Amino acid sequence: MTESRGAEKTPQWKIDEIANVKDLIKSYSVFGVVSFADISASQLQTMRRNLRDTSVLKVLRNTLNERALKECDGNVADMVEYIQAQTALIFTNDDPFKLYKKLEQTKTPAPIKAGAIAPFDIKVTKGPTGFPPGPLLSEFQGAGIPTAVEAGKIAIKEDKVVCKAGEKVSAKLAVALNKLEIYPLEVGLILRAVYESGTIYLPDVLHVDEAQVFNNFIKAAQEAVNLSVNAAYPTKDTIEILIQMAHTQAVNLGVEAEIEDSEIMDKLIAKANAQMLSVAKQVASKNGESVDEDLKNMI
């Protein structure tokens, strides 16, 4: 069966694909629009298999994806804005943050092509390459890579930025970087937007530096403990520290005030002994005969 649209009829397979996308949107709590540009068919199949346990990846013509989204309820149609070039839809019950993290893990290093724009400063590092002397030496030099022959091998003479961020990569440099196994690009499923319960999330919101968040929690906990201790505010986490501090301060006060107490008598004796030795030292410096030999040895 086909659907009539004016004088044209929509093929049944297109109707079925659109219906399938709409069913997937209803069946899963989250769906996203992803780019699979520069990914080979084999890489895409591998990524699909790796995501199979938690997600469904749907590759369809953009026009069919757009039509399916526009026919959905609510503001699902707003996701059409992110469908462009090589686009796939991904459906999951994971939250948007988990989905973003999983897609980031699909990325793998990839060589850069001639004429491509460098995403960041591309740098070569000083050291041996493992290549024997030959035509490659002039190829690397022609690509702007400072090389020489050292110990019978081609070596990069110094660290150097061979292409700055935003510049085009020359054909010679692209070949040289590939031979040196310097892969400036990352290829993977790039998340453009995620839809969940009427809210659209963009990648800049979903990117979370977990190590930094963890460190922030540790720092906040430490600062909270310090504040509680300095304010003498007892909690289950600080009461032991506060008691130890109070005990130390009480002992110090007893020693300074020379209060005779069994717990601090050894400290009072040690203090008196130190004071006695200090006086003896001063006396001995003025008149050595006034201090006996035992005391001199102690000094």
pLDDT tens-place string over residues 185-215? 888 899 999 999 999 999 998 988 778 888 9
Q: Are 57 and 51 in contact (CB under 8 A)?
A: yes
Per-residue confidence (pLDDT) for residue 175, from 0 to 100: 94
Q: Give the chain's residues under pLDDT 70.
A: 1-8, 288, 291, 295-296, 299
Distances (CA, A) of 134 to 138, 148, 153: 8, 11, 10
CATH architecture of 3-107+188-208: 2-Layer Sandwich (3.30)
Residue 4: what pLDDT?
A: 53
pLDDT of residue 296: 66
Q: What is the pLDDT of residue 123?
A: 95
pLDDT at residue number 149: 93
Do strands 190-196 and 30-35 pair parallel, antiparallel, or not at all (unpaired)?
A: antiparallel
Domain range annotation of the chain: 3-107+188-208, 122-183, 212-298
pLDDT of residue 259: 86
Kindly give the residue spans of alpha helices, DSSP state H, lying in the chain. Answer: 12-27, 41-51, 62-70, 96-104, 135-142, 171-179, 203-206, 210-230, 239-256, 265-286, 293-298
pLDDT at 244: 92
Q: Given this model, what pLDDT does residue 45 score?
A: 86
Domain with residues 122-183, CATH architecture: Alpha-Beta Complex (3.90)
pLDDT for the residue numbered 79: 96
| pLDDT at residue 257, rounded to an integer | 86
Could you tell me the pTM of the whole model? 0.58
In this prediction, residue 288 carries a pLDDT of 66
